[in-house]
């Protein structure tokens, strides 16, 4: 089923990061609208490609590639953007190192060839008489499926 590996990869990453991160908030599969959480790490927009396999006798293998956003949201009520950005950087460093240290078979996702951070974007918004830093890491993966 198209996208099934993407869901498994996102879920495995969130499960692993929940154990690896110490944050004042939560690590979750998707954004949760809970007031009072100062820090959140959650997956966001995802996409992938699945090239069609040629007809032949026997089982066809196909390669699926995808990306998803891993968002880091840090709120600093009464604080500055620099404070929020510095904390987002601290969390992003742990996330990137955790992903870099994983071997493809350590996530329990069948067929996964690689998983890596390929890009990041930063944004911010004023909130609670302070600032909120939003760091979005683009995580890329590839899997060979049957």
Contacts of 69 (CB under 8 A, 6+ apart): 43, 44, 45, 46, 136, 137, 138, 139
pLDDT digits (tens, 9 = 90+) for 13-41: 999 999 999 999 999 999 988 888 899 99
Q: Are 95 and 17 in contact (CB under 8 A)?
A: yes
Where along the chain do its domains lie?
4-46+61-145
Instruction: Tell how strand 62-76 and strand 39-49 pair up.
Output: antiparallel
Assign domain 4-46+61-145 one CATH number from 3.30.2000, 3.30.300, 1.10.3470, 3.90.1750: 3.30.2000
119 SS3 class: strand
Q: The pTM is what?
A: 0.88
Mean pLDDT is lowest, of 22-36, 43-57, 98-112, for: 43-57
Q: Are 79 and 87 in contact (CB under 8 A)?
A: no
pLDDT digits (tens, 9 = 90+) for 66-96: 999 999 999 999 999 999 999 999 999 999 9
The more confident residue out of 34 and 2 is 34
Contacts of 9 (CB under 8 A, 6+ apart): 66, 68, 107, 109, 112, 115, 141, 143
Instruction: Tell how strand 130-145 and strand 25-28 pair up.
Output: unpaired
Average pLDDT over residues 140-144: 90
Judged by phi (left if over 0) then psi (alpha if -120 to 50, else beta), residue 115 lies in: beta
């Amino acid at each position: 089923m198209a996208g099934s590996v993407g869901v498994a990869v996102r879920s495995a990453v969130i499960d692993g990061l929940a154990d690896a991160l110490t944050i004042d908030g939560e690590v979750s599969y998707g954004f949760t609208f809970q007031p009072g959480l100062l820090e959140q790490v959650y997956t966001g927009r995802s996409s992938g490609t699945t090239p069609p396999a040629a007809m032949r006798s026997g089982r066809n293998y196909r390669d699926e590639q995808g990306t998803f956003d891993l968002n880091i949201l840090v709120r600093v009520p009464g604080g500055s953007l620099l404070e929020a950005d510095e904390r987002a950087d601290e969390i992003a460093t742990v996330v990137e190192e955790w992903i870099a240290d994983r071997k493809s078979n350590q996530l329990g996702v069948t067929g996964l060839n690689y998983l890596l951070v390929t890009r990041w974007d930063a944004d911010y918004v004023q909130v609670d008489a302070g600032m909120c830093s939003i760091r979005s890491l683009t995580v890329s993966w590839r899997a060979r499926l049957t």
